Amino acid sequence: MQPSRPVQAAAPGTVTPTHCPYCALQCGMGLARAGEGVKVVERPAFPVNGGALCGKGRTAPAVLSSRVRLTEPLVRSHATGGLVPATWEEALDRVAEGLARTRAAYGADACGVFGGGGLTNEKAYALGKFARVVLGTSQIDYNGRFCMSSAAAAGQRAFGVDRGLPFPLADVARTGCVILVGSNLAETMPPALRYLTEMKDNGGSLIVVDPRRTRTAEQADLHLAPRPGTDLALALGLLHLVVAEGHVDEEYVAARTSGWEEARAAAMAHWPEHVERITGVPVPQLRETVRRFGAAEHAMVLTARGPEQQAKGTDTVGAWINLCLATGRPGRPLSGYGCLTGQGNGQGGREHGQKADQLPGYRKLTDPGARAHVAAVWGVDPESLPGPGRSAYELLDALGGDVRALLLMGSNPVVSAPRAAHVEQRIRSLDFLAVADVVLSETAALADVVLPVTQWAEETGTVTNLEGRVLLRRKAVDPPPGVRSDLDVLHGLADRLGHGKGFPTEPEEVFDELRRASAGGIADYAGITYERLAAGNGEGVFWPCPEGTEGTEGTETAGAAGVPHAGTPRLFLERFATDDGRARFVAVAHRGAAEEPDAEYPVLLTTGRVLAQYQSGAQTRRVAELNAAAPGPFVELHPRLAARVGVADGDPVAVVSRRGRATVPARVTAGIRPDTVFMPFHWPGEGRANVLTHPALDPVSRMPEFKVCAVRLEAPG
């Protein structure tokens, strides 16, 4: 294969069609040249958002400014201890030396790699290959583990495949009932709210499950406000009522599923009054939910971080999947279960090798056939590939111990990880830390070497949105002098570490290799090319899309003979991706949170996002318009709790857990349960919410318990 030519920035006067750099909607937008930079213009032909954008998308070009981002490498001065400018050669030499020194002294697994859910598919693929081929380490994971790993594990267990939505978002508008569990779409994915609004306008019902009366819950026909950490009991109670009130689709269950009797027995132990005592959701609301969901011809359950970011998240999502299976929803048009993936490339980022246990194409690292296939593409011995490593939090917790050096790309765990003060201490204890990022994040500020890399509008690459739609994000502007792409970084490091070949810098060349590596896997991209992604309105191609002309069984728009495979917008129409083609019920039972309230810590804390900020805030906190809308952290609490603590709206209040303390202004509202407080997690400093959160891990997904822990509130003075 001939290397492709470097991608050039758009000429003045043209509009470059591309995608927003933030959430997993990957909203379509256009970028037009405006002076030395670019401005956002609508792209109404893109089907996911139809031109609509939230404030983060509209202001995304602000982070391209050299005033707010890194424009030259930085290295830790041996004389002063501070970060000072350096040449690229010096910076890359230092990183290569640090990794090589660590590997020589302590072994390959002493080198860790930590990636990000915002990296393009090409970067994620190259990073996984670099870890396993160049460093030979098993110690690689990424911050997407904190996003939807519980839903991914539950989906694999039930359906044999994990794709956030196994149907296009457009199907949501045409269904008859949606149960939205633990998602505040109005603030986290505003352009997606239109699908729920349209569904209601068409006569459908919206049921929102959230301990807070959020902007999304205000749109609901029915709002269930369970105690944090009890979503599993709630789903089991609803399934109990589905059985008791005759809503089980017996024909579907018999023809398309297995394991029903065990799951049914587990659900019947969760009778409505018992579930009301656990969750706080009144029995009449449980019955009304089942009436609406069971009576609808088409219906869906959509989950997000609420039920997933728990130490029992896989079982919790599994219980909601059981509800869908019992009522005959998955694999039928306009019905089913879906997960609302959060991070920009959270879906693609885990498909191609960033996760500790996966190889490209969603192949398992423990599968000998998968290892042989990928090793052949990489030109290495399958035996040379390391086995599975630690999950994200476990990797961070091992820093400074077994893992002595870390290469980190596109993540800010000092703010975003659970038990964040402890994670910061572990990062500080490393022998060597290198960070590649767009901005000097709180984590990058601790590094020995900081590498300034290109971002969304300065590079071409693919991303995969929450629907499994592979998209081409195009370069619109040149990066500032002194900035290189992550692919350049990996190429330069690989070359210095004795692997000069196999790490190209052109995205299309990397993607072509990714296609070969993914071929035949669950997430098969072999039939997707840059040319196809750029064609027409740039609507993308849904995976799986194998190379060739035969259609995939169970897809509505598979290719016909002589026509390239059209992709798979809808999964499971004929069979599930299990060995026998049947979906699997999994019997689960409610259990408590890892940390329940007690006399010393009597209140429940749950965390989440606000409209104007994104994830750790490393980028959005540098945008004036967004900071004006959401200038800092706060704690949301009920008036009765505020009165008991002795604080008024706007007063400073300390939120204290067994792991740390955060002091923030109080925001008093009747829209939250009296036994619960809420904090957004976008800020560092005294208001850093994740110093409080619990690192207990789901035994299957290894997801930390971000959504529930015990705290107390302390008024000043």
| The pLDDT value given to residue 549 | 63
- Say whether the peptide bond before residue 680 is cis (omega within 30 degrees of 0): no
Please check the confidence at residue 10 and state whether its pLDDT lies above 80: no
- Specify whether the CB–CB gap between 41 and 31 falls below 8 A: yes
Sorted by where each starts, the structural domains of the chain and their CATH numbers stand as: 9-144+344-500 (3.40.50.740), 147-343 (3.40.228.10), 603-714 (2.40.40.20)
Q: Which residues contact 431 (CB under 8 A, 6 or more apart)?
A: 98, 102, 400, 404, 405
Please give the average per-residue pLDDT across 228-234, as a whole number: 98
State both tokens at 38: 């670019």
**Cα 205 to Cα 239: distance, rounded to the nearest angstrom:** 18
Amino acid making up residue 220: A
Looking at residue 73, its pLDDT comes to 98
E runs forming strands in 240-370 = 257-258, 300-303, 336-339, 358-359, 363-364
- State pLDDT tens for residues 379-421: 999 999 999 999 999 999 999 999 999 999 999 999 999 999 9
Sign of CA dihedral 322, 706, 424, 619: positive
pLDDT of 11 reads 56
In this predicted structure, what is the pLDDT of residue 557?
45
- pLDDT class for 269, splitting at 50, 70, 90? very high
* Residue-wise pLDDT tens digits, 84-141: 999 999 999 999 999 999 999 999 999 999 999 999 999 999 999 999 999 999 999 9
CB 663 within 8 A of CB 606: no
C-beta separation of 465 from 478 below 8 A: no
Rounded to 5, what percent of the chain is helix, strand, coil? Answer: 35, 20, 45
Task: Give kind and range of the element (H or E) at residue 347.
Answer: helix 346-351
Instruction: Give pLDDT tens digits for 542-596.
Output: 999 999 865 444 444 444 556 789 999 999 999 999 999 999 999 999 999 999 9
Q: What is the pLDDT of residues 619-675, one digit of tens each?
A: 999 999 999 999 999 999 999 999 999 999 999 999 999 999 999 999 999 999 999
Q: 358-370, pLDDT tens digit by residue?
A: 999 999 999 999 9
pLDDT in tens, 282-299: 999 999 999 999 999 999
Q: Is the dihedral of CA 116, 623, 704, 657 positive or negative?
A: positive
> What pLDDT was estimated at residue 14?
87
> Cβ neighbours of residue 188 under 8 Å, at least 6 residues apart?
23, 304, 342, 608, 609, 611
pLDDT of residue 2: 31
Is the pLDDT reported for residue 4 higher than 60? no
Q: With cut-offs at 50, 70 and 90, classify the pLDDT of residue 267.
A: very high
Q: What is the mean pLDDT of the chain?
A: 94
Q: What is the per-residue pLDDT for 12?
A: 58
